[in-house]
Structure 1
Amino acid sequence: MAQVLVVGAVMTCSHAPIHVTGSTVLKVAGQPVLVESDFTTAVFDCAAPSPGPCKKLGPITAGLSTVLRVGGKAVVLSSAVAVTLGSGTSGKLTVTDPGQTILDAK
């Protein structure tokens, strides 16, 4: 089991914070739960030096719930794995705080 990510979760690329917003009907501790499609609009605060900063996330390859869905979309868990893509540089998504401690899922 892993914790479900919500808006306000603390995530980073290899260099700086990543911000993800969501608007699902399911909320935990007052914050919307994040689903896979929310990550397509992730905002990067990355200012990595040359060859350039991370700009977007690749597909989430692990850490999607197999049992919990919102609107038919998989909920993202604290065990999420994805690469970050940029101008000649890449890194990885790291979750340091899921934003809540109430809801776990598989």
Structure 2
Amino acid sequence: MAKVLVTNSQLTCAHAPLTVRSSAALTVNGNPVLLVTDFRAATFACTTVTPAGGPCKKLLPFTAGVSTVLKVGGQPVVLATAAALTDASAANAGKFTVVDAAQTILDAK
């Protein structure tokens, strides 16, 4: 079991904060949970220029940390164990990182 991520979770692209918004009906302490589809519109504050030509701009598909049991509106929630690369990963090992799930109430697998 792992903590479910919410909108105030602390997330980074390994260089800078990552902001993800959600309008999921399920909330924890008033903060909507984050769904896999929410990450398509994530906002990167990354300004690190990589040898590949620029900063991280988008997240590639998750390789871990997507719930297999908890879904909201048919979309799986994302867990604190989430792993993914960014579009700048090939050049600089840019990785999606969960710094803090920002909640201790809701777990899922």
Same fold (TM over 0.5): yes
Name the Cα RMSD after superposition.
1.5
- Structure 2 counterpart of 1:104, which letter? D
- Residue 48 of structure 2 is aligned to residue 48 of structure 1: yes
Deviations 1:78-100 (A, max 9, x none): 00011011397451100011121
SS in 2 for 1:39: helix
Could you tell me how far apart the structure 1 residues matched to 2:7 and 2:102 are? 7
| Correspondence for 1:21 | 21
Could you tell me how far apart the structure 2 residues matched to 1:49 and 1:36 are? 27
Could you tell me how far apart the structure 1 residues matched to 2:39 and 2:63 are? 12
Could you tell me how far apart the structure 2 residues matched to 1:19 and 1:48 are? 16
Identify which of 63, 68, 71 aligns with 2:70: 68
For the 8 Å contact 1:35–1:73, the answer to whether it is kept is yes
* TM-score, with length taken from structure 1: 0.93
- Residue 108 of structure 2 is aligned to residue 105 of structure 1: yes
Residue identity over aligned pairs, in percent, reads 56
Deviations 1:34-90 (A, max 9, x none): 010000000000010343210000001110111100001101000001101139745
- Residue 8 of structure 2 is aligned to residue 12 of structure 1: no
| Structure 1 gap ranges (5+) | none
Deviations 1:21-46 (A, max 9, x none): 00000000100010100000000000
